Amino acid sequence: MAASVEHDSPESMEAPQTAVEAEETKTFKDLGVTDVLCEACDQLGWTKPTKIQIEAIPLALQGRDIIGLAETGSGKTGAFALPILNALLETPQRLFALVLTPTRELAFQISEQFEALGSSIGVQCAVIVGGIDSMSQSLALAKKPHIVIATPGRLIDHLENTKGFNLRALKYLVMDEADRILNMDFETEVDKILKVIPRDRKTFLFSATMTKKVQKLQRAALKNPVKCAVSSKYQTVEKLQQYYLFIPSKFKSKRLGSLNKFKAKARSILLATDVASRGLDIPHVDVVVNFDIPTHSKDYIHRVGRTARAGRSGKAITFVTQYDVELFQRIEHLIGKKLPVFPTQDDEVMMLTERVTEAQRFARMELREHGEKKKRSREDAGDNDDTEGAIGVRNKVAGGKMKKRKGH
């Protein structure tokens, strides 16, 4: 049952209010969030709750299990983090909540938000993911943090092998990006986790899509859940300006930067491939460029969702070559809109292309000359180096012949 249906009553029907008006008047305090957490939201620049937060937070605070279906960049981490922290303040306890995520990047990102929201109340988190030393994670778990954020595989390792660690007192379970967790074949691990945590708990399941696997997991893990869906079809956020740029395949541009450069605000344009297509929240991305058009149309929505997050505006430009027209038309059909062509000055672009090509040619020549100079200087230094260490090395290489020659 949709959350909006649950709130319908004769009293509410007497004073009709549009969804837009309701959103404008809502604050985190209106949703039932305690004052200290409202202040934390202000400090993070969360001026008002997003659609999924308006839907999910009041129900979560009532103690309901939640299925959240939300478009990417909709603020769903806040939708489950705030109710959990609110409950933790009321009944403080170690190993209070577990958040399962599909990737280590998303795990660290969720941990950052929990710590930022809970900084004034001393919330402690542990991130348990692959690719990081297990011993340091065991030590973190031994301190009994309030929140554990984990990928399923590494969590099972610790549940089976770390002495003294268990989740038998757990009060909250969150499965974020559940469709992706299951698509990455973590079903066995998730089943094992569900068997060793209390049945008497609150469960939040968030997913971009409601697949058959997610429906099966919902039946196994949730009790009488409320569905909170902020969009009924695949769509992109309203403040995202989307364009395409037709470009012959031989003229494609080069990829930029790394994740940390975005976080440091040193870069504001993300050239997206599937590595960055979901989960990452890099607040200051203004433009997303789809360098290669996604083969699966749904991936387009996740990619362009790296910008225009949490109410901000942004641009997405997709490079379309002569070989991509059919894929591009599928994307337009999925999101239900025709995308305009991105305006460019062809003469200026071609002039810049010539200048870049010329600069590359000079750079290659200089690098080659520099390499040759370094090689010559090393050779010269090698010939004139008569230090004790150098003579010893030459004697070894030459099998002692140099020593004999000097003796003669």
Pull the structure tokens for residue 62. 């009532």
Using only C-alpha atoms, what is the Rg of the chain? Answer: 28
Which residues, in sequence order, are CB contacts of 302 under 8 Å at separation 6+?
72, 208, 277, 278
Same fold, 3-229 and 240-344: yes
* Residue ranges with strand state E in 187-308: 202-207, 226-229, 240-246, 269-272, 287-290
User: Which residue, among 43, 68, 44, 42, has the nearest Cα to 54 in the 3D structure?
Assistant: 68
Please, what's the b/e burial string for 8-37 (b: 16 or more CB within 10 A of its CB; e: otherwise)?
Answer: eeeeeeeeeeeeeeeeeebebeebebbeeb
Token digits of residue 201: 């708990």
pLDDT, one tens digit per residue, over 171-190 is 999 999 888 888 788 889 99
Q: Which of 197, 138, 200, 137 is nearest to 168 (CA)?
A: 197
| Residue ranges per structural domain of the chain | 3-229, 240-344, 347-399
Sequence letter at residue 358 = E
Cα 358 to Cα 364: distance, rounded to the nearest angstrom = 10
d(CA 384, CA 381): 5
Q: Tell which residue, 310, 144, 169, has the closest CA to residue 230.
A: 310
What string of pLDDT tens digits covers the 408 residues of the chain?
Answer: 334 334 333 333 333 444 444 445 689 999 999 999 999 999 988 889 999 999 999 999 999 999 998 766 678 899 999 999 999 999 999 999 999 998 888 898 899 999 999 998 999 999 999 888 899 999 999 999 999 999 999 999 999 999 999 999 999 999 998 888 887 888 899 999 999 999 999 999 998 878 888 888 888 889 989 998 876 445 555 667 776 667 666 654 733 335 566 666 666 666 555 555 555 666 667 788 887 787 777 777 777 776 666 566 788 888 888 888 888 888 888 888 888 888 888 788 778 888 888 888 888 888 888 888 877 777 666 555 554 444 444 454 445 444 444 444
Pair of tokens at residue 307 = 């910008």
What's the pLDDT at 336? 82
Kindly state the helix (H) or strand (E) to which residue 42 belongs, with its residue range. helix 35-43
Note the CATH number of domain 240-344: 3.40.50.300
**Residue 16, pLDDT score:** 40
CA of 168: how far to CAs of 97, 156, 175, 189, 279, in Å? 11, 14, 18, 17, 29
Distance CA 79, CA 52 (A): 7
- The pLDDT tens digits for 27-50 are 999 999 999 999 999 998 888 999
Look at domain 3-229 and name its CATH class.
alpha beta
Q: Which helix H or strand E contains 214, and what residues bound it? A: helix 212-221
